[in-house]
Amino acid sequence: MSTSARVGVVVLTYNSASDLPACLDGLFRQRGADIRIIVVDNASIPENRTAMEATFLERAPDGPVIDAAAASPTMIENNRAVFIRNSRNAGYSAGNNIGARLAVGAGCEAILIVNPDVRIDDPDYVAMLWAEMKPIEDCLVGASRVIGIDGRDHHPLRENRYWEELFWIRQFGPRRFRPRPWVEPPVGVEPVAAEKVHGCCVMIRSSFLEATGFLDESVFLYCEEPILAARVRAAGGRLMVFPRGQALHAHIAAAKGNSSRRMLLLIRSRLYYLETYSGYGFMKLMALRVSYRLLALLHHIKARYEAS
């Protein structure tokens, strides 16, 4: 019986057959921790799900492939890897919560949420990240350095300031009038505090998830990062980046479909975050609603143009 820390790794998929093999290869190479890999498929189209199940079984021939309604923490305790079929796509946080709840129930001390387009080459990645994060008791969320395919850091991220958000149009103006960068890359290898971390590869302390009812499922997609950060702050905790580790986020934005439709979804999620977590008063929230409605109108027009 392993005496190393038990860490649950949740990979939420949705038509991710092309990304999943490389992601799983990196996870199955992990050592130094009692890793439990939980792939949760969020109702992919049948042929894509079949391809992902085959990919999973190539790496874990004995790993069960099971419907979410029949999954249990005992199954996670008894298997290094599990593939769970979700019957409906309830969104990013709801899908990740399926795996996170099972992992916590199976005694995992921390949950690493990994998008299928993340590549982890270091076999000590998970063990190292938890070893750095665990002793810092008020660090409730931790992340390694994450680099995009363009070579740029994904975090630490800073949150929008009120006036930046209200006057979003500045982003399209001359460079000298634009907000300062959202990402403030770490310098060196020492841990640094973050206002937000990118959600593609993030470790969350299990005790925090249990105490707060797991991830907020009120948004289908987008704004999970500021929501998580707000919940961490409300619990008196911190988010931190540990630059000794590194993961690659092989995300291709052009592959995600109609950009205006995605922006409209982001606006809905952002307004939920602002109304629920920002702490802004009535007048500030009203001004932001008006500003975002204007942005939504522009994207409704653009969406129709892109669809024509």
From first to last of its 308 residues, the chain has per-residue pLDDT tens of 345 899 999 999 999 999 999 999 999 999 999 999 999 999 999 999 999 999 999 999 999 999 999 999 999 999 999 999 999 999 999 999 999 999 999 999 999 999 999 999 999 999 999 999 999 999 999 999 999 999 999 999 999 999 999 988 777 667 777 778 899 999 999 999 999 999 999 999 999 999 999 999 999 999 999 999 999 999 999 999 999 999 999 988 755 555 788 889 999 999 999 999 999 999 999 999 999 999 999 888 877 776 66
For the chain, give every residue range classified as CATH 3.90.550.10.
6-255
List residues bridging with 67 in a β-sheet: 85
> DSSP readout, the chain?
---SPEEEEEEEESS-TTTHHHHHHHHHT--SSEEEEEEEEES--HHHHHHHHHHHHHH-TTS-EEEGGG--HHHHHH-SEEEEEESS---HHHHHHHHHHHHHHTT-SEEEEE-TTEE---TTHHHHHHHHHTT-TTEEEEEEEEEETTS-B--SB-PPPHHHHHTGGGGGS-GGGSPPPSB----SSS-EEESB--TTEEEEEHHHHHHHTSS-TT-SSS-HHHHHHHHHHHTT-EEEEEEEEEEEE---GGGG--HHHHHHHHHHHHHHHHHHHS---HHHHHHHHHHHHHHHHHHHHHHHHHH-
Position 257 scores a pLDDT of: 56
| pTM beyond 0.85 | yes
Domain at 6-255, CATH homologous superfamily: Spore Coat Polysaccharide Biosynthesis Protein SpsA; Chain A (3.90.550.10)
> Which pair of tokens denotes residue 210?
């249990």
Position 307 scores a pLDDT of: 66
Position 261 scores a pLDDT of: 82
Sign of the alpha-carbon dihedral angle for 257, 263, 268, 273? positive
